[in-house]
Amino acid sequence: MPIISSASLILASASPRRKELLQSMGLKFKIIHPRVNENYLAGESPRQHVKRLSSDKATVIANKYPETWVLGADTIVVIDGLILGKPKNKKQALGMLRKLSGREHKVFTGFTIAHAAARVYQTKVIQSTVLFKKISPKEMKWYVSCDEPYDKAGGYAVQGKGACFIQSIRGSYTNVIGLPLCEVLEAFKNLKALSFR
């Protein structure tokens, strides 16, 4: 089982998917939702956006809890240079599905590991490419009528009913869920913050 050594861990995120992914590894941690400005900055690339937000989230919490390891993350879905956020209603969810249908899109997650007392601030961006099948109008109508699309970037859940639309994924599967577990655990390991027992 992986253990965060020498200090406790705080997940600086309100995402239930990130919580579930870390719990699946047997990690013990607290959750504190950071208050940061999530607006896009003019001229900001998808990579720059998730990098900045994950860093802001982790830094805000690390400054309040300097002796604790903090993990911040942010995930976005991008197609044709357009960032797809969380759909607010059925019309937006349908629009996203139409755009994604039969095409590839990219999922970017930025994650930051911070420990203020140790002056550790490390940020990485992981990219995955997802191919959707051609989705029929009936399938779209069925999917937007369930609760699943509305709290997910891009309006779908790879680990839920949305899995039936996915033909292939290149890159990290857990990145598409919201946290690239392999890369996150490796980063903690390289920082001597995590050990397996």
At 3 the pLDDT is 65
Catalytic annotation present for 151 = no
Cβ neighbours of residue 117 closer than 8 Å, sequence gap 6 or more: 66, 67
Name which of 129, 142, 137, 128 is nearest 182 in CA terms. Answer: 128
| Separation between Cα atoms, residue 100 and residue 80, nearest integer Å | 10
CB-CB contact of 85 with 150 (8 Å): no
Which stretches in the chain have pLDDT values below 50? Answer: none
At 12 the pLDDT is 97
Where would I find the H helices in 25-169? Answer: 46-64, 90-100, 137-144
Which strand (E) or helix (H) includes residue 106? strand 104-115
Q: Which amino acid is at 83?
A: I
CB-CB contact of 178 with 109 (8 Å): yes
| Separation between Cα atoms, residue 196 and residue 30, nearest integer Å | 20
At 39 the pLDDT is 81
pTM of the model: 0.92
DSSP label at residue 162: G
At 65 the pLDDT is 95
Structurally, the chain folds into a number of domains equal to 1
Range of the domain at 144: 2-196
At 194 the pLDDT is 84
Active-site position among 56, 74, 147, 151: 74
Which phi-psi region, left, alpha or beta, contains residue 178 (left: φ > 0; alpha: ψ -120 to 50)? left
What CATH code is carried by the domain that includes residue 92? 3.90.950.10
At 126 the pLDDT is 98
| Separation between Cα atoms, residue 167 and residue 157, nearest integer Å | 14
At 160 the pLDDT is 93
At 5 the pLDDT is 60
